[in-house]
Homo-oligomer: A and B are copies of this chain.
Amino acid sequence: MNVLEKARRMLKAKAVRPTMIRVRLLAYLLAHPVHPTADQLYQALLPGFPTLSKTSVYNTLDKLLEVKLVRLITIDEKETRYDAGTGVHGHFLCKHCSDITDFAANPDYTGCTELSGYQIDDCNVYLTGICKVCLQNINKTQKEEKAV
């Protein structure tokens, strides 16, 4: 089953009409788990869907958020990012390459006294720092500078 069919089924399961935009946008998010911005989604889908409008991307994302097929990532202060990753996981933002990577995180705050009696619906864990690849590049550059 290809990703378009998968997206279609996910939409039907949530009783959301599997229209062209919705299927394609969800399929794109499923196939590209890099947490794109609304504009990146628009740019990526435009070639295969020339009538697409930016507003429709936002409308579609709102609908997908509504039925929780997509979650919203605010780790970057400038632009909202979107993720079709369903399971609970955290996000790491590299300050150098600005890639956002997933990691396992399933914190349990049921025992937290400050939150006793609270209803917790969503959880987001955001880490920022420097990723492995960028750290290695930095070390390499520093060694080269030392050698000169």
Chain A residues in contact with chain B, CB under 8 A?
72, 74-75, 77, 80, 90, 92, 95, 101-105, 107, 109, 112-132, 135
Contacts and interface: CB of A to CB of B under 8 A. Distances in A.
A35 to B, nearest CB: 14
A92 B90 CA distance: 16
Contact of A92 (B72, B77, B118, B126): B118
Given A77-B80, A123-B125, A125-B123, A130 B118 contact: yes
A105 B95 contact: no
Nearest to A91: B124
A77 to B, nearest CB: 6
Contacts of A120: 92, 127-129
A13 B69 CA distance: 48
Nearest to A130: B119
Nearest to A121: B129
Contact of A115 (B92, B107, B118): B92
Contacts of A113: 104
A122 B112 contact: no
A126 B126 contact: yes
B119 A127 contact: no
A66 to B, nearest CB: 14
A81 to B, nearest CB: 11
